[in-house]
Amino acid sequence: MHRIHSRALALALVVLVATVVAACGGSSGAAIQKPGAAKAVGMLPNRVVIDVRTPTEYAAGHIAGAQNIDVEAADFGSRISTLDKKAAYLVYCHSGRRSGIAADQMAKAGFTDIVDGGAMADLVAAGAPTQ
């Protein structure tokens, strides 16, 4: 009897933990990938590319075809809210710090397919075209 009660208690604990994990971590359905520069460059043709640096940084040069949405601007949330949450995105910045912030904010906003491309210099070194 004690063995059956222990198993039932263990099963209940597993179900409880799985429920808490799903509620806390899996509710957005977002998948943020950080594949490294070489793989990220290969993904560029199939993704909406977003440069999350300042407009001044963007104007000095950016990945070809990227649109500029400054993650530190007050309107970042409203600007990303106009994007298709089901599309595939790749975000990058100068060093990788802001791209991580942007990817997290996009995931919290309900985006489901996000690649954190990290630093622009790494993407360019791996072959990303610029303009």
The active-site residue, picked from 44, 69, 93, 115, is 93
Q: What stretch of H or E contains 90? A: strand 89-93
Is 24 annotated in the active site? no
CB atoms within 10 A of CB 115: 24
CA–CA distances in Å: residue 26 to residues 17, 35, 41, 56, 86: 13, 20, 28, 36, 16
3-state secondary structure of 105: helix
Active site residues: 93
